[in-house]
Structure 1
Amino acid sequence: MSARQTFTIEEIKDRLLAQIDQVVHRYAPPASGSYTDKGLYFTLNPGRADRSVGSFVVAVSGPRAGRWNDYATGQKGDLIDLIALSLGLSLPDAFREARAFLGLEHETPDIRRAREKAAADARARRLEAERTAAERARKKARQALAIWLSAEPQISGTPVEHYLRGRCIDLRALGRQPAALRYLRSCTFHHETMDPQTGEIHEVKVRLPAMVAAIDNGRGETVAVHRTYLAIGPSGRFEKAQIPDPVTGEILPAKKVLGDFRGGRIVLSSGHGPRGGKGCPLSKCPPGTRVYIAEGIETALSAVILKPEARVLAAISLSNMGQVHLPSNVAEVVLITDGDEHPQAVAQLDAAVKAHAAKGRRVRCWRSEIPGEDLNDALQRAMKEQEVE
């Protein structure tokens, strides 16, 4: 009887990665509604009573191949962790299960060489994908910074000011403008849609005025840029642009982000200093600092209007609210929710609460009593009620 062959943890992980499709279908099997999009496999979490596809995802290609996340619970890991999650195993038992799956208990020299080659090829592909993704991210960050720098620093008198005022956000009354916001007179809106019947790609490419916002990573670097495209609406005022999809005719989102904004934030207010005036940068905030985090820019600016003394950030997306980089002196976070009652949105908000709480912060949430109403909706409603009175 031959001696039991030994393999390092990394060797086992590389071999699993070389068979990633078989691994994920074994330990996170397809369910009703499962799908794969751009290298991401969405299915039910095999380790809990997951009722709907959407929050559990496994990367099956690209630089993060083999990594998975459950945005509803905050869980994440690699393929060994996936095996442990699926079967309810400890990590040592998960490694034993991985060995059995790979057939390493009874491996001939020829099979060993073939599997070593497959694992080496998979590792090389992963490293190349990581290099390509890193270079692509750097390129997008440079493009994002160039867009923001090309925009006008002052938004007073521009379509941006008129758009925000139409949302009851009066920066002149506030007495200051967030430095992260700028006005770009002509910004390219580009969208492509594939016709599902013919496979033909239809393109929309127009230039429109836009509100642009710098997204920083907490280290003073602009890593992405957010753009809100504007146009004169039926009211005769600047509103979010209404651009129809060339295939479906549905109105396309008028907001786009260029660059990787994971963990990033748009700083919209540093609050007040101890003697009045502008507060110190967030990176130098005093111990016990409270920070308000909203999903979108308009919601965050509504918080600034209502609480000028507060530190307010926009997280860009609900999934990023728990990932926003904050210094250790931040002791309390108030998450301003948009009132979305969709199960995935509820799960993402819960994950954000848990993520901040896990870092020792007190966490509170603001939610309107009216379902589906965000803070900007509430601000506009209050302003209209005042006018009626």
Structure 2
Amino acid sequence: MARQNASDLAHRLAHQAEAVCRHYLSNGQRQGNYWQVGDVRNTKGRSMFVRLKDSPKGRAGKWTDAATGEHGDLLDVIRESLGLIDFADVADEARIFLSLPHTKPEPAAPRQGVAPAPSGSAEAARRLFAMSQSIAGTVVETYLRRRGITLLHGTGNLRFHPRCYYKPDDGPTETWPAMIAAVTDLTGKITGAHRTWLAPDGSDKAPIDTPRKAMGDLLGAAVRIGVPGSVMAAGEGVETMLSLRQVLPDMAMAPALSAAHLAAILFPPNLRRLYIVSDDDPAGDGARDMLIERAKAEGIEAIPLSPAFGDFNEDLRRLGTNALRAGVRVQLAPEDVARFMSLAA
């Protein structure tokens, strides 16, 4: 139904291609049978071409950016030019432009278009996650497997976005593939998101200055992997915790994304034992000590887990799964060895 609805809206917009371009790509101008503009985000320039009429070369409304190779239809123009994430918002904006009836009841006040979510807000994080897709078969899966991470069950809070915006300190906005991690509170509500921009082939992180960034409300929240019970592990990085999960596949993991946020993570109500994975640096040591104090104050046993090298992903890649398992085994409470490593070789 959604695909049919999108196709119908794109077709109707194509009949008014020039009007769409004048409205959403106002920094461009008509050149023959094309609308020419800098890019789909309405930047001034001449590298993007939108076809205004059907021809043997293509349908009206189709566009290509010669500088980046991006292409799409007029729904993409609406989405990108307004900074929208959810398709429902894109479709509503298209209906407003086309003066079509809404599929939902009209709001009490006339709607003037869907406002973009404030940059870096929790709402922007929720929209970004909603626009992303499963990591299965994507460069996110390729990237994780190249780092030795192959157990990806229960990772629904990780998704893939093929063209995630990256804004360098200076220069134009870029788009790169990205791993999107949902940051949630104890009820499962998304309060933020973490982006890891990747090389297009998934071989490594993207060659940019800051390939990892978080957004939204992060304090007390975490990227939750698995369902927490009486025992869980908390740490800083997503890849670090996924690496630990290679040898503790049934233990819930909670990457908090930074030392400061690790120290402030909220405890699930049924938690009785917490394994703390901190980076080997002053910030990590401080987060570990603070978290131990907070856990003890709530009657939760806190046990630090230490990697042999810089972090557990480095251990996994340099030493292999069996050595990582052996190194973790001796740090666990005996009952957790039986519970979480009983099927391990």
How far is 1:337 from its partner? 2.0
Q: Is 1:185–2:126 an aligned residue pair?
A: no
For the 8 Å contact 2:155–2:226, the answer to whether it is kept is: yes
User: Match of 1:182, as an amino acid?
Assistant: R
1:380 to 317, 329, 332: 317
Residue in structure 2 matched with residue 148 of structure 1 by the alignment: 129
1:268-315 residue CA offsets vs partner (Å, 9 max, x unmatched): 122xxxxxxxxxxx3xx4xxx111012110011112111112111111
| Structure 1, unpaired ranges of 5+ | 1-135, 193-201, 244-251, 271-281
Q: Is 1:263–2:263 an aligned residue pair?
A: no
Residue in structure 2 matched with residue 109 of structure 1 by the alignment: none
Residues 345 and 385 of structure 1, relative CA distance in 2, 3 Å threshold: closer
Residue in structure 2 matched with residue 119 of structure 1 by the alignment: none
CA distance in 1, matches of 2:242, 2:183: 15
Q: Is 1:223–2:191 an aligned residue pair?
A: yes
How does the TM-score come out when normalised to structure 1? Answer: 0.50
Q: Is 1:161–2:141 an aligned residue pair?
A: yes
4+ aligned runs moved over 6 Å, structure 1: 136-139
CA distance in 2, matches of 1:300, 1:290: 15
Percent same amino acid among aligned pairs?
27
For the 8 Å contact 1:295–1:337, the answer to whether it is kept is: yes
CA distance in 1, matches of 2:268, 2:189: 15
How far is 1:139 from its partner? 7.7
| Structure 2, unpaired ranges of 5+ | 1-116, 324-345
How does the TM-score come out when normalised to structure 2? Answer: 0.56
- 1:63-142 equivalences under 5 Å are 140-142=121-123
CA distance in 2, matches of 1:204, 1:141: 24
For the 8 Å contact 2:220–2:266, the answer to whether it is kept is: yes
How far is 1:258 from its partner? 1.2
Residues 138 and 189 of structure 1, relative CA distance in 2, 3 Å threshold: closer
Q: Is 1:346–2:303 an aligned residue pair?
A: no
1:247-270 residue CA offsets vs partner (Å, 9 max, x unmatched): xxxxx2211111120000111122
1:175-207 residue CA offsets vs partner (Å, 9 max, x unmatched): x25010000010001132xxxxxxxxx335210
User: Match of 1:367, as an amino acid?
Assistant: S
2:249 to 290, 308, 311: 308
Q: Is 1:241–2:206 an aligned residue pair?
A: yes
Residues 309 and 345 of structure 1, relative CA distance in 2, 3 Å threshold: closer
CA distance in 1, matches of 2:321, 2:289: 32
Q: Is 1:298–2:202 an aligned residue pair?
A: no
CA distance in 1, matches of 2:154, 2:231: 21
CA RMSD for the aligned pairs?
2.3
CA distance in 1, matches of 2:306, 2:120: 38
CA distance in 1, matches of 2:141, 2:283: 33
How far is 1:384 from its partner? 9.0
Question: Structure with the greater relative contact order (CA < 8 A, sep ≥ 6): 1 or 2?
Answer: 1
User: Match of 2:265, as an amino acid?
Assistant: V
User: Match of 2:219, as an amino acid?
Assistant: R
Residue aligned with 1:238, SS: coil
Residues 299 and 159 of structure 1, relative CA distance in 2, 3 Å threshold: same
How far is 1:170 from its partner? 1.0
Residue in structure 1 matched with residue 179 of structure 2 by the alignment: 211
CA distance in 2, matches of 1:141, 1:384: 36
CA distance in 2, matches of 1:231, 1:187: 12
CA distance in 1, matches of 2:121, 2:202: 32
User: Match of 2:222, as an amino acid?
Assistant: R
Residue in structure 2 matched with residue 80 of structure 1 by the alignment: none
- 1:37-76 equivalences under 5 Å are none
For the 8 Å contact 1:228–1:240, the answer to whether it is kept is: yes
User: Match of 1:310, as an amino acid?
Assistant: M
